[in-house]
Structure 1
Amino acid sequence: MDLLVIGSGAREHTIARALQQSSTVATVYCLPGNPGMQLDGIQTVAIEMTDFAAMIAFAQAKKVAYTIVGPEQPLVAGVVDAFQDAGLAIFGPRKAAAALEGSKTFAKEIMAAAHVPTAAYQTYQTVQAALAALDDVRYPVVIKADGLAAGKGVVIAQNDVSARQTVQAFFEQGVPQLLIEDYLEGEEFSLMALVANNRVYPLPVAQDHKRAFDGDRGPNTGGMGAYCPVPQISDQCVAEAVTTILEPIVATMAERQIPFTGVLYAGLIATQYGVKVIEFNVRFGDPETQVVLPRMTGDWAQVFAQLLKGQIPTLQWQSSGITLGVVVASDGYPTQSTTPFVLPTLQQFAKRNSTFSFASVAEQANQLVSAGGRLYTACYSAETLDQASQQVYRDLAQLALPTTFYRQDIGFRTQVK
């Protein structure tokens, strides 16, 4: 069968590669994809993710068995509704359910209805109201822009000056409203689950590193690296999260006639008072996908086919070892973009032991060049974190460019007591 993946990042590269490893799959198309995907023989398609009509026409012409949606933007815009209305199989939430990520206030309302633990918050529609509220908060405080922000719509303000600057900046950017919520302390982790027919199938947990620089310093990013599994998060903690968070959310959505199908991503924190929700996403995380999907020893193409047929998926996981992923970004990320520069050739990447998933890259004069932001993720699986880390960082050092940077400490929290 032929399959289609919608998106252009390292997450979509990872999904497409995983699907392609199935003996039942002939061709995997990625729309629009990126030139780095050629490394794995993935067929890229020059159609924009906003052009639903062209996407549907392509899927029909190629007779793809089903489509997987990577990023949040097309989901929130209703791509699943459009494909299903055209009679095409597609895995992801419909537009109404995608609001769980598209609107932070909607997510908070669903959490309240489902009695799911999360931080206390207030919503503000004007800069004056938000600034007035800062007179009564305890620092640090979390300020969130309501709506999609590519992982950069959250600021942890340590003091009043920072908080007021953040509020002003968000409203100047045209944010319709923002949330000011309590700061939660504890161990953060990402729990993704496949959801179909109101049943939840959790994947192994991962831990993302959102800050740009070593030691969790610098601005929030879309994610600078991850690892899976997370030894400091117990099986009991994960089981608690599934039964007290994921399952009630799915049940509440169904009760409200907004059934959820797709990938439900919970950004969670294990506090001294139990597991609480930081955020929900309605798709695979990036870079978590790059370290979670390779842990499955079965057939990803069959897993999605089973879910779309209403069957229980066959999920088999590696019982030992760890997978580490490190993101390489252009200098200036996430606040500034740089002039495109030439990257190593795909042949040079292929010589390394790490697996590379490409993101913000382009092709100019038959050369792979940067396109700003996160460029690629390097992943390696080993028995220990140290072994995986040594291999990834050895490979990255051999490919290093003066106009890029990456964190040198991905996985450091496994050592923090």
Structure 2
Amino acid sequence: MGLKILVIGSGGREHAICKKLLESPRVSTVFCAPGNAGMKRDGIQLVPIAETEHHALIAFAKEQTIDWSFVGPEVPLLNGIVDDFAAAGLLIFGPKKAAALIEGSKDFAKKMMDLYDVPTAAYQTFTDFEQAQVYVKKLGAPIVIKADGLAAGKGVVVAENEAEAISALDEMLNNHKFGASSGKVVVEEFLVGEEFSLMAFVRNQEVYPMVTAQDHKRAFEQDRGPNTGGMGAYAPVPQIADELVAEAVETILKPIAKGLVEQERAFSGILYAGLIATESGPKVIEFNARFGDPETQVVLQRLESDFAEVIDALVTNRQPEIRWKKSGFHLGTVIAANGYPEAYEKQIPLPDFSAVKDATIYFAGVEEQKEQLVSAGGRIYLVEASGETLQEAQAKVYRTLDNLDTSGCFYRKDIGFKGMK
């Protein structure tokens, strides 16, 4: 019998994780809870249990004799799903609640960086609007305002001027735009440089870095418009030198992993560092306690090793064997509903993907109605392709999109442009 695996989550990231796990000859079944209707096309078995229903997920894992589970999104991690599975005697890959706080609180993450000399932007944390306003005036613009807690990737405002910064503070602290998540805000200096994502498999103090990726957060071309959960990504990032990545592993990932162990918050799972290459070296913008979305859809495609075998080794305390592709590029573009990230159109019928040859489709916000896939979220699906060059990968993605009916939707036409300069 092969491995039976349960993946928790429902988005494009989870679709990519499930699909990659199913490539392994060691795997017999991949369940996804709750998953989405588009995943069924790849032989992924959906489980109608919400990611917040820990007891029901534990019961399912026991009943199905699941070998181990994998947590995709941040909310169940911060709700302590890993602690609950471990207490039930089940193997699960992801950080415990205490370690996931590195993503759950921007203020906690900053304090950890202070404590372990990890390079990041100068900052202060506030709960009081007046005091925060004084700090903004002292630092000047551009300046960055962040909700302390989770805000689905939308809790960061890069304010171009003081008025914008004060308006963001007012929204978060006085109008509670993100509820309890913005009861506290981190105000930090604006850093100049090229942004990139560096994720790693982490087991306590062991750090196994992945290839770099670059996410495109803004809704529209040339990085204009509001911040979203991510409109596309590519990997690797050619303009980020290998030496800089090696420096980031030594000065950022390893000290944080070691620090979390020292603070009795040992981290096992995927540690995501959102970094910026400044004139004085790599600095941290944010940490996440899980795979990025949409970075996963391009980074996992770079993995040559058996993904299921890597995770199996990590959860059973064996040495993982991890190899990455040495050449080529992967690029993915998100197709979103008109209006996203604000109020957006729903129930948009999806096109027929049967003629897609040169690309892979990862489904996110979709559901099924009378055997027809329709949209059920802001980010609906992602089209991913590979090429020897970034230009070739990009051309395949946009050629695919040219042949699909994307009515009611929009997508950025410039994913990967920074890597081609």
| 1:361 pairs with 2:395 | no
Q: Which residue of 2 aligns with 1:376?
A: 381
Q: Which residue of 1 aligns with 2:21?
A: 19
Offset of 1:351 from its aligned partner?
3.2
Alignment of 1:149-160 (within 5 A): 149-160=151-162
CA distance in 2, matches of 1:297, 1:167: 45
Displacement over 3 Å in runs of 4+: 349-352
Matching residue within 246, 250, 258 for 1:243: 250
CA distance in 2, matches of 1:294, 1:64: 25
CA distances 1:323-365 after superposition (whole Å, capped 9, x unpaired)? 01111100111112213221124xx256332101100111122
Contact 1:80/1:94, CA 8 A, preserved across alignment: yes
Q: Which residue of 2 aligns with 1:122?
A: 124
Q: Which residue of 2 aligns with 1:406?
A: 411
| 1:352 pairs with 2:357 | yes
Offset of 1:128 from its aligned partner?
2.5
CA distance in 1, matches of 2:69, 2:88: 13
Unaligned runs of 5+ in 2: none
Q: Which residue of 2 aligns with 1:259?
A: 266
Q: Which residue of 2 aligns with 1:303?
A: 310
| 1:208 pairs with 2:215 | yes
Q: Which residue of 2 aligns with 1:106?
A: 108
CA distances 1:81-103 after superposition (whole Å, capped 9, x unpaired)? 00000010000000000000000
CA distances 1:175-208 after superposition (whole Å, capped 9, x unpaired)? 2111110000001100000001410000001111
CA RMSD between the two structures: 1.1
Matching residue within 7, 15, 20 for 1:5: 7
Matching residue's letter, 2:363: F
CA distance in 2, matches of 1:400, 1:281: 34
Matching residue's letter, 2:254: E
How many pairs are equivalent?
414
Contact 2:13/2:291, CA 8 A, preserved across alignment: yes
Query: SS at 1:251's partner residue?
Result: helix
Alignment of 1:54-65 (within 5 A): 54-65=56-67
Give the percent of matched residue pairs that are identical in Structure 1 and Structure 2: 53
Q: Which residue of 1 aligns with 2:133?
A: 131
| Structure-2 change in CA distance of 1:243 and 1:161 (3 Å) | same
CA distance in 2, matches of 1:127, 1:400: 47
CA distance in 2, matches of 1:349, 1:166: 44
Contact 1:39/1:350, CA 8 A, preserved across alignment: no
Offset of 1:115 from its aligned partner?
0.5
Matching residue's letter, 2:162: D
Matching residue within 311, 326, 350 for 1:319: 326
Unaligned runs of 5+ in 1: none
Q: Which residue of 2 aligns with 1:195?
A: 202
Matching residue's letter, 1:48: A
Query: SS at 1:372's partner residue?
Result: coil
CA distances 1:358-391 after superposition (whole Å, capped 9, x unpaired)? 0011112221011131011111111011111111
Offset of 1:319 from its aligned partner?
1.1
Offset of 1:400 from its aligned partner?
3.1
Offset of 1:137 from its aligned partner?
2.2
| 1:169 pairs with 2:171 | yes
Q: Which residue of 1 aligns with 2:347?
A: 340
Matching residue's letter, 1:190: S
Contact 1:197/1:310, CA 8 A, preserved across alignment: no
Query: SS at 1:285's partner residue?
Result: coil
CA distance in 2, matches of 1:327, 1:144: 24
CA distance in 1, matches of 2:135, 2:204: 42
Q: Which residue of 2 aligns with 1:178?
A: 185
Contact 1:7/1:30, CA 8 A, preserved across alignment: yes
CA distance in 2, matches of 1:104, 1:6: 24
CA distance in 1, matches of 2:413, 2:262: 46
Query: SS at 2:201's partner residue?
Result: strand
CA distance in 1, matches of 2:354, 2:263: 48
Q: Which residue of 2 aligns with 1:329?
A: 336
CA distances 1:231-272 after superposition (whole Å, capped 9, x unpaired)? 111110000000000000011111111101000000000100
CA distance in 1, matches of 2:326, 2:358: 22
CA distance in 2, matches of 1:39, 1:245: 39
CA distance in 2, matches of 1:258, 1:37: 34
Offset of 1:169 from its aligned partner?
1.2
Matching residue's letter, 2:12: A
Offset of 1:162 from its aligned partner?
1.0
TM-score by length of 2: 0.97
Offset of 1:134 from its aligned partner?
2.5
Alignment of 1:209-224 (within 5 A): 209-224=216-231
